[in-house]
Amino acid sequence: MIGVMANPADHGVVREFFELFKTPWELYRPDRRYEVVLCAGEDHLGDVRADLVLVYGGDEVAFDADAKTPVESRRTSTMLSYKGRRIPIYGSCLTFRSERLSLTDEASQQPAAVVLPSGDTVRVRIGYDLFREIGTVLTVGQPPANADIPAVEMHIELLRDLVIEYAAPLVEIPPVPDGCRFIACLTHDVDHPSIRRHRLDHTMVGFLYRALVGSLLDVFAGRASARRLLTNWAAAARLPLVHLGLAKDFWWDFDRYLELEAGLGSTFFVIPFEGDPGRTARGRAPGRRASRYGARDIADRITRLASAGCEIGVHGIDAWRDSSKGRDELHEIARITGSASVGVRMHWLYADEHSPATLEKAGFAYDSTSGYNGTVGYRAGTTQVFKPLDAIRLLELPLHVMDTALFYPAHLHCSPAEARQRLRGIIDNALRFGGAVTVNWHDRSLAPERLWGGCYVELLDDLKRAGAWFATASQAVAWFVTRRAVVFDAGGSLRATAPVDADDHVPDLRLRIHRVREPRRFSGMATEAARGPVDVAVRDTLDACVPI
């Protein structure tokens, strides 16, 4: 059991952090002895009794004077290195005069943590404020420069390693479904389902430029084949016939995803109303944000997708800033699908710090807006579904990969080989940390001028080989809801209680038991455990029989 001492203002962050690192914990009680005490944002420890005391903080505190902590320097917005991986620190960070340990500041190569043995208690001073860092990443988000770093998972890994190294056995419910390696969530934003609806607007001009000129430049740069160039030129040549109704509308084919995914299950986010660009925080949004279709225009396709097991969500216009308009957008989709539970992803990823509470008030089941328009990775710093700090119940399924961010010249401008390399990095993180890989491949991305279907098929193959559980957005969120509902009861053994009404279509949870390493070593810190963890499936109630 971990006893947590933190500033009351940070208690909301503390609770969310321990939903992501699902291990037994409670706010510190002075009448109890803990295996581990974690202190962050508290100046005085008092008479703390524990095998391991972890003191986090980016400023010197009274503990440092009492313990004679060898503080070396204080930095702001720095990058740490841990076990060959990077941890961005957005607040202040202390470094220490001591032997070089596993956690170091990249710039100075000085340790950012120090081990201070004291009798039967091990004290570890870590030079940043854990909960301020987690709060920053979950609310403000990470800059694009750090997009490839799952910062929350790195903070969890460091804490887990410290506990395993210096304290009693640790148990947790990892973010990994039983029988799978991680969750793959395939989604599709439906922005332009028909090219016939576009005349000489921004979308049509962009299509013609990329089909005729961009394709040619890509061939010269070695980013595309001559066959792709000819396909795009032929599509551009057919446009007059498409508008006359004499040739097939090559964008009106997005239900091809049913063939490519072959029953894997995916989620389509559909724009509810035609012609409304919505608003920004400063006024009317750009006119090109307005869609040339509304959900009723593609109701037959929506019905077909839903009948095939796909989920339909709202691609929101103003839901992020106005709960009453959000309810209108939700009801428009619910009227067509007949589903009472509807999720949302905002068009153009519009959001601010108040959006989660606004979307929750509108009645959405979940949100999946937290992501980047211009790169791929972890805007919220995590692979996991999480609860935004402003929300009461609404959960966020973070978006990790968007096709336009990968391929458009204004963004990453990847070749297919470069895109696959970046995507493999996302998959490798999921294999290491669990959680989800949430992908957005747009409705028209299989058709000219994009023709990104081959890259998508390769991604599906890589996800299958990696052992992913393919889930709709609702299923992925439901699995995390089940995990969050687990309660740890402490007695002579540890009992993990899971909901008894778990969905049959959602995999079981795992209880992971990390063994204590023998003998303890105080010369280094946070090395791998001598023996690997043991996983046990959690079905309803499980008595783990772990001494505490």
222-239 pLDDT, tens per residue?
Answer: 888 999 999 999 999 999
Rounded Cα–Cα distance for residues 365 and 319 (Å): 13
Rg (CA), the chain: 25
| Res. 532 pLDDT band, cuts 50 70 90 | confident
DSSP calls for 308-327: TT-EEEEEESSTTT-HHHHH
Q: Residue 34 and residue 482: Cα distance in Å, rounded?
A: 27
The whole-number average pLDDT for the span 58-73 is 86
Q: Residue 160: which pLDDT band, with cuts at 50, 70 and 90?
A: very high
Q: Which residue has the higher pLDDT, 371 or 48?
A: 371
Tell me the pLDDT band of 342, cut-offs 50, 70 and 90: very high
For 348-370, the pLDDT digits (tens) are 999 999 999 999 999 999 999 99
* Fold classification of 183-194+251-479 (topology level): TIM Barrel (3.20.20)
Confidence of residue 28 (pLDDT cuts 50, 70, 90): very high
Overall average pLDDT of the 307-314 stretch: 96
Supply the pLDDT for residue 498. Answer: 64
Question: CA separation (Å) from 4 to 24, 37, 425, 530?
Answer: 11, 6, 34, 27
- Decide if pLDDT at 18 tops 80: yes
With b for 16 or more beta-carbon neighbours within 10 A and e for fewer, the 218-245 pattern comes to bbeeebbeeebbebbbebbebbeebeee
**Cα→Cα distances 468→178, 199, 403, Å:** 11, 41, 20
- Tens digits of per-residue pLDDT, 436-484? 999 999 999 999 999 999 999 999 999 999 999 999 999 999 999 999 9
- Write down the pLDDT at residue 71: 87
**Does residue 415 carry a pLDDT above 70?**
yes
β-pair partners for 52: 36, 122
Going by CATH, does the domain composed of 2-172 fall within 3.40.50?
yes
Provide, rounded to the nearest whole percent, the portion of the chain with pLDDT above 90. Answer: 77
Please report which confidence band the pLDDT of residue 496 belongs to, taking 50, 70 and 90 as the band edges: low
Q: What is the mean pLDDT of residues 134-139?
A: 97
Name the amino acid, one letter, at 493: S
Say if residue 525's pLDDT is above 50: no
Mean pLDDT computed over 156-165:
94
- Give me the residue spans of the domains in the chain: 2-172, 183-194+251-479, 195-249
Cα 223 to Cα 547: distance, rounded to the nearest angstrom: 58
How would residue 521 be classed by pLDDT, with cut points 50, 70 and 90?
Answer: very low
The answer on pLDDT for 546 being more than 70 is no
Per-residue pLDDT tens digits for 94-133: 999 987 678 999 999 999 999 987 778 889 999 999 999 9
Whether the per-residue pLDDT at 519 is higher than 50: the answer is no
For the chain, what is the mean pLDDT?
A: 91
pLDDT at 491: 59
| CA dist., res. 418 & res. 426, Å (int) | 13
Question: Which residue, among 13, 129, 10, 4, has the nearest Cα to 389 in the 3D structure?
Answer: 13
Does the pLDDT of residue 286 top 70, yes or no? yes
